């Protein structure tokens, strides 16, 4: 494969400290060296789009762009805790479409399992709530869900945990779950705007400084405090960005490597350089899901038809219009479902009293990390070895 696909960094007045050159070959060489033992990965929403899960901020196909058509004050309201208290139905309808078990992990998720299999994955910080990392075979203790996930649920007032099977049943039937203790509203442990981030995320933040390599995949690095993690790696820690475009300050350090393109394509290229491509494909094959594979076969059939279409259709296919249209239709259907459900709800439920739960350090979704958290030292090396 031509090296022209990889973004070339501008000349730097600083010499490389770890890598001889900023390219995929040197990155792979470093990963296989004795100096690289602890890899930290940061995952964003673009990692899951090839699994059929829309991201949030894409102008045409993102969830926010399509939810704007609904009778919401603004699309982000579906993930705001105050709005949820007044009307939880839109979120429950959305959750039914996004609930785990309906999507197959991508090749990028299997790459995480590959790193774990080689005893290289120290931690994976993910913005995603879909739990596809665990579905790909990565142990839960290696995953830090920065924005929570569907893996657990509790009352938003008293904090009482709620049974997973009951929660799934309520979401699938789009019936609002209430706490069995105080009758408060129940939702999955997904961080809404206006809520504190999970304690596990806060405690894990300093560990970024222990990384021998930081790999950032499929994120715009615009949502804080998650975006702040990229700048917390040691100056001597190489950083690899796998993304459609350059984001954040990636590319400013001598040992930054930018692999710009689709996540799955770039991950496959990195695996080939490592000599692990066959192993990666085998791990991904283990995640095969019959229903999902049927959908993929249908998509391949549609693409085959597009190849036989007139020149105009070919140009649309080259621009990705065919695939984006399919994703947009899926989100449109979701928007219609939510609009229909909301039309059945005339009165918003009375807002219950809220019981605040104390937190040692408050880190709120959408805000930067507080100085006392950024400056605290990482855990001891000996302690890390126990994890």
Q: Which residues are designated catalytic?
A: 147
Residue 215 belongs to what H/E stretch?
A: strand 213-217
Question: SS3 of 191, please?
Answer: coil
CA separation for the pair 125, 198 (Å, rounded): 12
- DSSP label at residue 101: T
| Bridge partners, residue 121, by sequence | 39
Work out the number of other CB atoms within 10 angstroms of the CB of residue 50.
19
CA separation for the pair 152, 167 (Å, rounded): 9
For residues 153 and 184, the answer to whether their CB atoms sit within 8 Å is no
| Bridge partners, residue 190, by sequence | 148
For residues 32 and 120, the answer to whether their CB atoms sit within 8 Å is no
What's the N-to-C CA distance of the chain in angstroms?
Answer: 38
130 half-sphere exposure, CB direction, 13 A CA radius: 28
Of 113, 287, 20, 255, which is closest to residue 296 (Cα–Cα)?
A: 287
Q: How remote is the C-alpha of 310 from its chain's centroid?
A: 37
CA separation for the pair 176, 86 (Å, rounded): 12
CA separation for the pair 168, 260 (Å, rounded): 38
Of 199, 157, 165, which is closest to residue 182 (Cα–Cα)?
A: 157
């Amino acid at each position: 494969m031509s090296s022209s696909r990889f973004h070339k960094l501008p000349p730097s007045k600083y010499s490389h400290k770890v890598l001889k050159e900023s390219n995929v070959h040197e990155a792979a060489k470093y990963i296989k060296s004795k100096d690289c033992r602890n890899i930290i990965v940061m995952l964003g929403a673009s990692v899951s789009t090839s699994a059929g899960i829309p991201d949030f901020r894409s102008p045409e196909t993102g969830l926010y762009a399509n939810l704007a058509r609904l009778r919401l004050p603004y699309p982000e309201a579906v993930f705001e805790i105050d709005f949820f208290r007044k009307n939880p139905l839109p979120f429950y309808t959305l959750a039914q479409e996004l609930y785990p078990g309906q999507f197959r992990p991508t090749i990028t998720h299997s790459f995480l399992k590959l790193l774990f299999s080689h005893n290289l994955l120290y931690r994976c910080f993910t913005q995603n709530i879909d739990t596809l990392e665990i579905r790909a075979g990565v142990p839960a203790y290696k995953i830090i869900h920065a924005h929570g996930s569907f893996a657990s649920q509790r009352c938003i007032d008293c904090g009482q945990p709620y049974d997973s099977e009951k929660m799934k049943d309520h979401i699938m039937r789009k019936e609002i779950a209430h706490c069995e203790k105080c009758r408060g509203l129940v939702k999955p442990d997904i961080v809404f705007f206006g809520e504190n981030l999970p304690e596990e995320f806060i405690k894990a933040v300093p560990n970024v400084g222990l990384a021998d390599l930081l790999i950032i995949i499929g994120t715009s690095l615009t949502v804080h405090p998650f975006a702040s993690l990229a700048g917390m790696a040691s100056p001597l820690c190489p950083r690899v960005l796998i993304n459609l475009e350059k984001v954040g300050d990636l590319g400013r350090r001598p040992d930054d490597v930018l692999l710009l393109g689709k996540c799955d394509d770039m991950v496959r290229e990195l695996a080939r350089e490592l000599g692990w491509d066959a192993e990666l494909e085998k791990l991904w094959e283990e995640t095969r899901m019959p229903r999902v594979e049927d959908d993929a076969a249908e998509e391949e059939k549609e693409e085959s038809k597009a190849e036989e279409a007139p020149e105009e259709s070919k140009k649309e296919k080259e621009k990705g219009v065919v695939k984006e249209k399919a994703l947009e239709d899926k989100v449109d259907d979701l928007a219609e479902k939510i609009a229909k459900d909301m039309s059945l709800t005339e009165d918003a439920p009375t807002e219950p009293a809220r019981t605040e739960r104390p937190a040692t350090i408050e880190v709120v979704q959408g805000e930067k990390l507080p100085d006392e958290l950024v400056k605290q030292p990482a855990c001891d090396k000996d302690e890390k070895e126990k994890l």
